Structure 1
Amino acid sequence: MIEALAFATTVVCVAGGFAVLGTGLAGRYRRGRTLPALAIVELALIGQAVADVLGLFGGDRPAELGTHLAYLATSLVLLPAAAVWSAGEEARWSAVVIAVALLAVAVVVVRAQTTWRPA
């Protein structure tokens, strides 16, 4: 794992999650403003996944390989699933779905970091 990228992704997801939640609760959520940020976070997650797979092929072995791969796959799926789920409308619930997904991605990235460390 690229530790700096994982840290930056976690910080951006937490900050973005609270920002989206705040705009949603205030009634100012706009999907068009959120999607580019989600795309950037997703690109960072894809970069992390590529680095992880290259590390596995390079001989690195996480303490819990199956769990680590599950966290990695989950991190890649959460944001697109939330974006599709919230695509129907620009309402408070759409903002809540995106905010929860961003906060969940932050947790999943931290857990993936934990499982990457050797036993």
Structure 2
Amino acid sequence: MIEVLAFATTVVCGLLALGVLLTAAAGRYRWRAVRPALAGVELAVLAQAVADVCGQLAGHRMAEQLTHNAYLATSLLVLPVTATQIARDNGRWAGLLLAAALIALAVVVVRMQTTWRVGGG
């Protein structure tokens, strides 16, 4: 687990969610405008997943291994699944759905950090 990357991912998800909510409320949300930022977040989550798996292969054990791995899988799927639903929609509800997914991803990353630390090592 890369702590700095996890923190940065959480902060970026929160700020991006806020930005999407504000633009959606103003009726100015556009999928094309947020797509590059989402790709960057997904790359950060993928890098975190690779580091996490390497850490587990190197012998790091968590108290709740199954829970941690479920969070890991969820972190990789949240944005792609949401993107498939809103990719062609520029409406307010699409922006709201994306903001909810970003907040959910931020929470999942924080939970991953917590379950990683519980086991120590």
Q: Could you tell me the TM-score, scaled by structure 2's length?
A: 0.96
Aligned to 1:4: 4
Aligned to 2:70: 70
Aligned to 1:28: 28
In the alignment, structure 2 segments of 5+ residues that lack a partner are none
2-side partners of 1:28 and 1:72: how far apart? Answer: 33
* Runs of 4 or more above 3 Å deviation: none
2-side partners of 1:115 and 1:96: how far apart? Answer: 29
Tell me the percent identity.
Answer: 58
Aligned to 1:106: 106
2-side partners of 1:24 and 1:52: how far apart? Answer: 34
Q: Could you tell me the TM-score, scaled by structure 1's length?
A: 0.97
**What RMSD, in angstroms, separates the aligned Cα atoms of the two structures?**
0.8
In the alignment, structure 1 segments of 5+ residues that lack a partner are none
**What amino acid does structure 2 have at the position aligned with 1:55?**
G
The CA deviation string for residues 82-116 of structure 1, in whole angstroms up to 9 with x for no partner, is: 11111231100110011000000000000000000
* Matched positions, count: 119
